[in-house]
Chain A
């Protein structure tokens, strides 16, 4: 199956071309099937390749060079794929969850006029994302990186006749561009220092170069800026909640499970750089923890079901960055995977609810749905338990591993841990608020329409994802429960070289050792926190719905308005920029530049108009000019003296 591996990348591209070029000529059912198969077959191939690769034993990656792209001097960039534990892991998530979401979309998008276009975009996205994770060099990764940005823009603005959707697409695109500057600068720096763009080559080149540690912080910082944009971290997170203007499957696929985790992937891929950059790593951990906490608090008072989940995604990505910053890449990648399961599940569940209620997204107009849409509500509940971190759902294992690693991380460990645990409390609270209001509370639905369960194409993915959300955590468990470390051993070949490199120069940020009893009490504490969140939500929203969170005064008003961050950005950046642009466009350009250049053109016109009167067509006139000219020259020569 490793021989067939290029097909994994090729099939989504073919699917995109097919659906994109023939979008007006093929029936919807056919386009949906093609689009789904173009992701599902690669999933099967990847599974086969995974089996053949033997990731637990093999240490060297399998390289698949396709063709050289740019060769200038010693700069070489090629289309080549690097199959190793990390890229296989990501590919399985992308194609696996991707095909479920494609299947779901076949039901969800039924009757939409842009059905075929939607599937073309989705396949384009998968193609770009696979290039991003499978590439063996930074340039191809960047190509995928930009490609997913483009697909995200297209999909967010899918309903392009709605101006809110078009604006949200633009916002996402522009904020991502800010991050991409970091990517380009980082790539340039790495090429300058390491003399290559291939990951493997870079790894060996940098290990031979002792003084790289001096530059590691700045290179790492550049790449982190890129990750900030793509993975929606403070201060570049504001696009993600707005991205919910896209269709719900898009939110699940791109803005929860795959694209937004590209930042995490990038850090893991460049772990040999980040391990040498302890200061930047600490910064990443702090940003991650702050983002986790910040977004979780916003999530508590939102009323749009998708917005709540979007802030939850920002918050969970913060957790992942907390893990990456504390240099426990396994924990970050673990949470990436479990989050992909339960967040995709939650988004698709929300989509199913929206579908059932005929495009109602405000949770205040929902309620009492539990008995009416059984599969959706049951799977949604499982997803909520997973994200809130209840034992033994997947979220518990991954989040606890992150919190544990944060706790043992250097000097600031306990502070980071505290922020993480508070964020976890809010996570549990807002998720159960959502569950109680939507599924158990008073029925506020518009009773004109009959509430109906979604078709099997939508519920099947929900069931499969729910299964994943429940069991995925068992890949890596703490010592007091089964003590499995499969994931750590799985990633060891990818990460070990970086660790060697770092410890070689004595810069590895030391993790304090952890007594087993402390580990148990940390886990116990976080379960308690999650339970308190649940109980609080139960009392405030279920037993006796309290007005306390409906009135928005004081701090609650600030929270409800998301700390006014959008307004602040609007005031600080957007308005001055628009003002400046308008000034340039409508004053400087028309009044000054245009006048200047039109004036030059016009003056030549005036001169030419005068001169053309000389062209009378009378030969005698021309002869006279010659004589007058000759006379003038003679006079000049005679007066001046030859």
Chain B
């Protein structure tokens, strides 16, 4: 297994991915604006992609990169549907604050 990718240690890249992931999770958990939450989700997905690419390179194996393409395709689809939903909800509620979107509870 290669310890370095383009001269950068794998551990560094994984650390970066971890930081990105945590920021994403934190964003999902504490932000109230639904658009920001969406962006945080994208951040999570990107951090995962980064891990996949890193290991693909380090192990010289193609499957990691393949999965990255899948993830990107699905992320794109999710963004399209998700944003459409966000717009629909905004038209209805005149708000993007998730705390005001809680009609589906008991």
Instruction: Write the residues of chain A forming the contact surface with B, with a CB cutoff of 8 angstroms.
Output: 612, 615-620, 623-624, 627
What B residues does A615 contact at CB under 8 A?
A: 105-106
Which of B28, B101, B103, B104 is the one whose CB lies under 8 Å from A623?
B28
**Residue B102 CB within 8 A of the other chain:** yes
Which of B29, B30, B101, B106 is the one whose CB lies under 8 Å from A612?
B106
What B residues does A627 contact at CB under 8 A?
A: 25, 29
Is A616 in contact with B105, judged by CB distance below 8 angstroms? Answer: yes
What B residues does A618 contact at CB under 8 A?
A: 98-99, 102
**Residue B37 CB within 8 A of the other chain:** yes
Is A623 in contact with B29, judged by CB distance below 8 angstroms? Answer: yes
Which residue of chain A has its CB nearest to the CB of B37?
A: A619
Separation of A69 and B93 alpha carbons in the complex (Å): 69
What A residues does B106 contact at CB under 8 A?
A: 612, 615
Which of A616, A617, A620 is the one whose CB lies under 8 Å from B30?
A620
Chain B contact residue count (CB 8 A cutoff): 14
What B residues does A612 contact at CB under 8 A?
A: 106
Is B98 in contact with A620, judged by CB distance below 8 angstroms? Answer: yes
Which residue of chain A has its CB nearest to the CB of B25?
A: A627
27 residue pairs A–B, Cβ–Cβ below 8 Å: A612-B106, A615-B105, A615-B106, A616-B102, A616-B105, A617-B101, A617-B102, A617-B103, A617-B104, A617-B105, A618-B98, A618-B99, A618-B102, A619-B37, A619-B98, A619-B101, A620-B28, A620-B29, A620-B30, A620-B32, A620-B98, A620-B99, A623-B28, A623-B29, A624-B29, A627-B25, A627-B29
Minimum CB–CB distance for B36 against chain A, Å: 12
Separation of A619 and B100 alpha carbons in the complex (Å): 10
Minimum CB–CB distance for B44 against chain A, Å: 11
Which residue of chain A has its CB nearest to the CB of B32?
A: A620
What A residues does B32 contact at CB under 8 A?
A: 620
Instruction: Write the residues of chain B forming the contact surface with A, with a CB cutoff of 8 angstroms.
Output: 25, 28-30, 32, 37, 98-99, 101-106
Which residue of chain A has its CB nearest to the CB of B41?
A: A623
What B residues does A620 contact at CB under 8 A?
A: 28-30, 32, 98-99
Which residue of chain B has its CB nearest to the CB of A611?
A: B106
What B residues does A617 contact at CB under 8 A?
A: 101-105
Given contacts A617-B105, A620-B99, 16 further A-B pairs with CB under 8 A are A612-B106, A615-B105, A615-B106, A616-B105, A617-B102, A617-B104, A618-B98, A618-B102, A619-B37, A619-B98, A620-B29, A620-B30, A620-B32, A623-B29, A624-B29, A627-B29
Which residue of chain A has its CB nearest to the CB of B103?
A: A617
Separation of A617 and B30 alpha carbons in the complex (Å): 15
Minimum CB–CB distance for A632 against chain B, Å: 15
Minimum CB–CB distance for A467 against chain B, Å: 87
Which residue of chain A has its CB nearest to the CB of B105?
A: A617
What A residues does B103 contact at CB under 8 A?
A: 617
Which residue of chain B has its CB nearest to the CB of A616?
A: B105
What A residues does B99 contact at CB under 8 A?
A: 618, 620
What B residues does A619 contact at CB under 8 A?
A: 37, 98, 101
Which residue of chain B has its CB nearest to the CB of A619?
A: B98
Separation of A164 and B86 alpha carbons in the complex (Å): 78
Separation of A617 and B37 alpha carbons in the complex (Å): 16
Separation of A574 and B25 alpha carbons in the complex (Å): 76
Separation of A612 and B29 alpha carbons in the complex (Å): 21
Minimum CB–CB distance for B2 against chain A, Å: 24
